[in-house]
Amino acid sequence: MMVRSRTGKIAWVTGASSGIGRAVALRLADEGFIVAVSARSADKLDALVAERPGAIHAYPLDVTDRQALKDAVRGIEQMLGPIDLALFCAGNYIRESAGEFDAGALADLVGLNVVGTGNALEAVMGPMIARRSGHIAVVASVAGYLGLPGGGIYGATKAALINLCEALQPQLGSQGVKLQVINPGFVDTPLTKKNDFPMPFLISEDEAAHAIVKGLSGSRFEIVFPWRMAVAAKLLAALPYRASLAITRRMVRKG
């Protein structure tokens, strides 16, 4: 028996155990969606379900498991109904240095942030294209605009997601499926708490969730926030390399 939502809409959020994914799942539930949430931590998902009983439903999985994503979509659509909105937030963040560069760390993060998102995309695109309806949103980052010292591995994964979404958007749009890319600046999450440097224009998870849900209702391909961080990053990325590299060179830590 399918669960019915107040809005008639079903959302699926990956990376929902913490951070942006968790905050957006709660906000979507408050907006009247029935929300399926996925992450590796079943305990954290159960705690999230307890906050909005009846509105949020847990589907624990690892996004690097391709078959698990397909099985989850099948299970969600059988139990809750066709997925109207798929929001992919699963990912991790690391910092690196040139002197201690680790190709294994690169492979691991690409596997999670890029291939894991690709697994989720593969799982939902087929059913949405068949229905000629649906909405997909992928969380990337302003870090994907250009390479910054210490953030090369993370930024490379987010640049890949931006590029992938840019390529898929026209094709999906022609088949009735809306695709957006979400590029946050610094958001106060468990991941950014790893940072030991000042984070300009830092916003809360709730502020990020508000910006995302508002952006999802609009027609713009890119949802980017906070605006001051977005402007600064876009301007830096638009500079000639001679100028941009002179600026980023000042970000390199001494010692």
The distance from CA 160 to its chain's CA centroid, rounded to whole angstroms, is: 13
Q: What per-residue confidence (pLDDT) applies to 85?
A: 98
What would the pLDDT profile of 133-170 be if each residue is shown by its tens digit?
999 999 999 999 999 899 999 999 999 999 999 999 99
| Cis peptide upstream of residue 226 (ω within 30 degrees of 0) | yes
**Residue 254 confidence (pLDDT) above 80:** no
Q: Which tokens in the block code for residue 205?
A: 């998870």
- 3 pLDDT above the threshold of 70: no
Residue 200 is predicted with a pLDDT of 75
Residue 5, pLDDT score: 52
In this model, does residue 186 exceed pLDDT 90? Answer: no
Nearest to 236 by CA among 144, 151, 160: 144
Gap between the Cα atoms of 202 and 153, Å rounded: 21
* Mean pLDDT value of segment 3-13: 76
Catalytic residue (one of 59, 93, 154, 241): 154
Burial class from Cβ neighbours inside 10 Å (0-12, 13-18, 19+) for residue 73 reads buried
**What is the C-alpha separation between 187 and 205, in angstroms, rounded?**
6
For the chain, strand residue ranges (E) read: 10-14, 34-38, 56-58, 85-88, 135-139, 178-184, 222-225
- 1: pLDDT confidence band, cut at 50, 70 and 90? very low
Structure tokens at 77: 């659509």
Please count the other Cβ atoms lying within 10 Å of the Cβ belonging to residue 136.
Answer: 24
Q: Is 154 a catalytic residue?
A: yes
Structural tokens at position 211: 């910006």
Q: What is the pLDDT of residue 160?
A: 98
CATH class of residue range 10-249: alpha beta
Q: Confidence band (pLDDT; 50, 70, 90) for 197?
A: low
Residue 75 is predicted with a pLDDT of 97
Instruction: Output the CA torsion 116→118→121→127 (10° steps).
Output: -110
pLDDT of 211 strictly over 90: yes
Range of lowest pLDDT (144-158, 185-199, 222-236): 185-199
**Hey, where are the domains in the chain?**
10-249
Query: Helix, strand or coil for residue 171?
Result: helix
pLDDT tens digit sequence for 230-240: 999 999 999 99
Q: How confident is the model at residue 119 (pLDDT cuts 50, 70, 90)?
A: very high
- The chain-wide mean pLDDT, for the chain, equals 93
How much is the pLDDT for 118? Answer: 98
pLDDT tens by residue, 41-68:
999 999 999 999 999 999 999 999 999 9
